[in-house]
Amino acid sequence: MKVTEHYDKAKDPLISFEIIPPKRGGSVSRVFETLDGLRKYRPPFIDVTSHAAEAYYEEMADGAVKRRIRRKRPGTIGLCAAIKHRYNVDPVPHLICKGFTKEETEDALIELNYLGIQNVLAIRGDDHGYEKPVQKDRSINEYAVDLVRQIRRMSKGVYLEELIDAQPTDFCIGVGGYPEKHIQAPNLAFDIARLKEKVDAGADYIVTQMFFDNEYFFRFVELCRDAGILVPIVPGLKILTTPRHLTMLPQTFHLTIPEALTAEIGTSPEHALDIGVEWAVKQCRELLDYGVPGLHFYVMGNPDPAIRVIDQLDVIPATSA
C-alpha cells in the first residue's frame, strides 16, 4: 500500500520509523532485532536509508594523511524486500542523487517495481567529499526535483531509452522538508519555493528533517500551506541521548538545539538520555495536539529511546489495513 493511502485510511496518527542497512560486511541480524522490537507498534511503513560512496582521511604511521574512498553501504533494496515479505510492512527505500546515475536509479526502480514495493523517498543526499566519476554515456540527477521527475516519467512508461510497449510504474514519492531551512538555501522562503517545485513535479508527501523546537515545525507547515503545498507533512523526530549530540547534531544536520534543553543536559550530562526522552515526549504530545498525520522516528540502529517515548504517549498503535 502507498504511504499516502495509509495516512488517508488511518483513524489515528501513525507511527513510522527510519532504519539504516548494516555496514558492508555486517550481519542483517541486528536489523531484524531492531525490527522485532518495533513490530508491536504496527508501523504501516519503514524507511530504509541509502548511502553513496564517501571520502575519508586516515592518518598513516609516518604521520602522513591519506585520502581514501569508502564504498557505498549496500543492502537497501534487499532489506526492503525482507521488510515487505518477512514483516508484512511497506518499506520506503531512499533514492538519492549523490553518487548514483540516472541509469542506476532506473535499474533500482525497476527492481523495486518487480518486488511490489510502491513507495520511495527521493532526496538529493549529503555531500561526503567524493564525486563519483560519470561515464560519458551516463547522466545524473543534480537535485531531488530532477529525481522526482524521473520517477514520475516512469509512471507514464517513459524510460531513459526509447522502449516499445514499456510498462508504467506507480510509485508514491516522498521528499524531505527542512523546518529550519536547508543549509544551502539563503532563507526559508527560498527553500519552501524549491519544495513546492518538488511537489509540483509529483511528490506525494513530505517528511521533515529532525527538529527539537516545535515552533519551527508549526511555522514551516503554515508557510508551506500558504505556498500552496497541500500534501501531508510528517514530522521527523530524533531523541537526543548523549551530551555529544549537543554539538554533533547541529554540525551534521544544521539544526538548532533549544537553550532550555542545552542547559538541562549541561547541568546533568549523566542523565542526558532521560532528559532527551522527556523532551521528545513533550514534543510528541504537542505535535499530536496540533493534528499531525503521524510521527516518524529516526531510530537508525537503536530503537530503545524511541520505544521509551512512544510508550508514554496516549496513542494507540494503529494501522490503516
Can you give the pLDDT at residue 22? 83
Can you give the pLDDT at residue 173? 98
Can you give the pLDDT at residue 317? 57
pLDDT in single tens digits along all 321 residues of the chain: 999 999 999 999 999 999 998 887 778 898 999 999 999 899 999 999 985 544 334 445 554 444 444 444 457 899 999 999 999 999 999 999 987 899 999 999 999 999 999 999 999 976 544 455 666 667 889 999 999 999 999 999 999 998 888 999 999 999 999 999 999 999 999 999 999 999 999 999 999 999 999 999 999 999 999 999 999 999 999 999 999 999 999 999 999 999 999 999 999 999 999 999 999 999 999 999 999 999 999 998 889 999 999 999 987 654 444
Q: Is 278 a catalytic residue?
A: no
Residues 6+ apart with CB under 8 A from 241: 272, 273, 276, 302, 305
Distance of CA 182 to the CA centre of its chain: 14
- pTM of the full predicted structure? 0.89
Which is the catalytic residue, given 18, 54, 106, 180? 18
Can you give the pLDDT at residue 74? 55
Domains in the chain, CATH or no CATH each: 3-310 (3.20.20.220)
